[in-house]
């Protein structure tokens, strides 16, 4: 199975700025256009899938799809089928069209601290939608909090309680500041990517009700997220309350600042969607990653 071109000009610019071109080129060889059997088995075992895409107006969002293990499965070496589609309450509900929609997905297993990214083109199907894979690769377990899956809660609140806004409400500010994990979707000329960010509570700062920031911790040197922001700037964030299932989705613009203390990404909120019935899945309290830096330097 051959590798595919891993990086566009935005990622290459960030890699050059930080002097990691050789390492990035080496790591980039792991990106393939196909789905290996081990990746297919991992995907099929998960009860959730994070998805990133642009809505019909062009705003980028990160969302959560859930179902019994097997709701997402590889149907061939380059194709994934996702049952159920995007929920009606999600800002991306109308994003996947027959013409094809660039999407970035992330399969994550908090039980084992494993994760896999699959980016490609999504189209509606009788089952929900399919994704024609263009980039498939795994990431290391850094900054992943370990959690046990307690099962699903069928008695969820009605989705009519969805809240919309253009800035964070005080209770949403508290939720973000307490988060140890969020997911970020970004866009660029070659597609969409969805990635994970994790740390000890407090690693995400709420500077104002419309401005968030976080330190970019050392990773695999690919700089796919930062590269996308260099090229485009649109971004979507997803915060998940693992114990209650509440989801908080933010869409806006982001950029990264480079200084003597490291890299800091700053995100400006344009739209907010909170859903107390966003996920039926229930997870345990976290066992924090040993890779997490102290929150007071985040």
Query: How many residues can be counted in the chain?
Result: 298
285 vs 291: CA distance, rounded Å: 18
Give the pLDDT confidence score for residue 92 in this predicted structure.
97
**CB-based burial, 14-27: b 16+ in 10 Å, e otherwise:** bbeeeebeeebeeb
CATH code, 9-297: 2.30.110.10
Question: Does an H or E element contain 173, and which?
Answer: helix 170-178
- Residue whose entry in the numeric block shows the structure tokens 């309450």: 89
pTM: 0.94
As beta bridge partners, residue 10 has none
Question: Contact, 178 vs 204, CB < 8 A?
Answer: no
CA proximity to 145, closest of 290, 47, 273, 295: 290
Give the pLDDT confidence score for residue 296 in this predicted structure.
56
* Contacts of residue 214, Cβ cutoff 8 Å, sequence gap at least 6: 197, 199, 203, 204, 205, 264, 265, 298
Which three-class secondary structure string do you get for 83-145? ECCCCCCCCCCCCCCCCCEEEEEEEEECCCCEEEEEEEEEEECCCEEEEEEEEEEEECCCCCC
What is the CA angle 207-213-216, rounded to 5? 155
Give the pLDDT confidence score for residue 161 in this predicted structure.
87
**Structural tokens at position 289:** 């990653």
CA proximity to 136, closest of 118, 109, 115: 118
pLDDT tens string, the chain, 298 residues long: the values are 454 556 888 888 888 888 888 887 887 788 888 999 999 999 999 999 999 999 999 999 999 999 999 999 999 999 999 999 999 999 999 999 999 999 999 999 999 999 999 999 999 999 999 999 999 999 889 999 999 999 998 655 554 589 999 999 999 999 999 999 999 999 988 899 999 999 999 999 999 999 999 999 988 878 888 888 998 999 999 999 999 999 999 999 999 999 887 899 999 999 999 999 999 999 999 999 999 998 754 3
Q: What is the DSSP letter of 56?
A: T
67 vs 30: CA distance, rounded Å: 29
Give the pLDDT confidence score for residue 297 in this predicted structure.
42
Question: Does an H or E element contain 12, and which?
Answer: helix 9-18
SS3 assignment, position 190: coil
What DSSP assignment string belongs to 197-217?
EE-STTSEEEEETTEEEEE--
């Amino acid at each position: 199975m051959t590798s595919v071109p891993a990086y566009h000009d935005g990622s290459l610019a960030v890699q050059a700025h930080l002097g990691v071109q050789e390492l990035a080129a080496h790591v980039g060889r792991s990106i393939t256009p196909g789905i290996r059997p081990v990746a297919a088995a991992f995907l099929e075992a998960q009860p959730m899938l994070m998805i990133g895409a642009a809505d019909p107006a062009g705003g980028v969002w990160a969302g959560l799809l859930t179902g019994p293990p097997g709701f997402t499965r590889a149907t061939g070496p380059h194709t994934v089928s996702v049952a159920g589609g995007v929920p009606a309450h999600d800002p991306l509900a109308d994003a996947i069209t027959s013409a094809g929609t660039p999407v970035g997905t992330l399969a994550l297993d908090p039980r084992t601290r494993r994760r896999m990214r699959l980016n490609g083109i999504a189209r509606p199907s009788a089952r929900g939608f399919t994704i024609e894979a263009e980039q498939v690769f795994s990431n290391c377990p850094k900054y992943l909090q370990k959690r046990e899956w307690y099962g699903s809660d069928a008695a969820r609140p009605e989705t009519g309680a969805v809240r919309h806004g253009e800035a964070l409400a005080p209770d949403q500010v508290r939720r973000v500041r307490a988060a140890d994990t969020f997911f970020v979707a970004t866009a660029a000329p070659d597609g969409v990517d969805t990635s994970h960010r994790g740390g000890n509570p407090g690693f995400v700062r709420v500077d104002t009700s419309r401005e968030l920031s976080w330190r970019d911790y050392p990773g695999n040197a690919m700089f796919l997220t930062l590269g996308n922001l260099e090229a485009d700037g649109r971004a979507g964030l997803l915060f998940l309350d693992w114990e209650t299932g509440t989801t908080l989705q933010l869409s806006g613009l982001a950029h990264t600042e480079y200084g003597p203390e490291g890299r800091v990404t700053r995100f400006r909120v344009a739209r907010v969607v909170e859903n107390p019935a966003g996920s039926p899945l229930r997870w345990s309290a976290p066992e924090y990653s040993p890779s997490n830096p102290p929150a007071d330097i985040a």
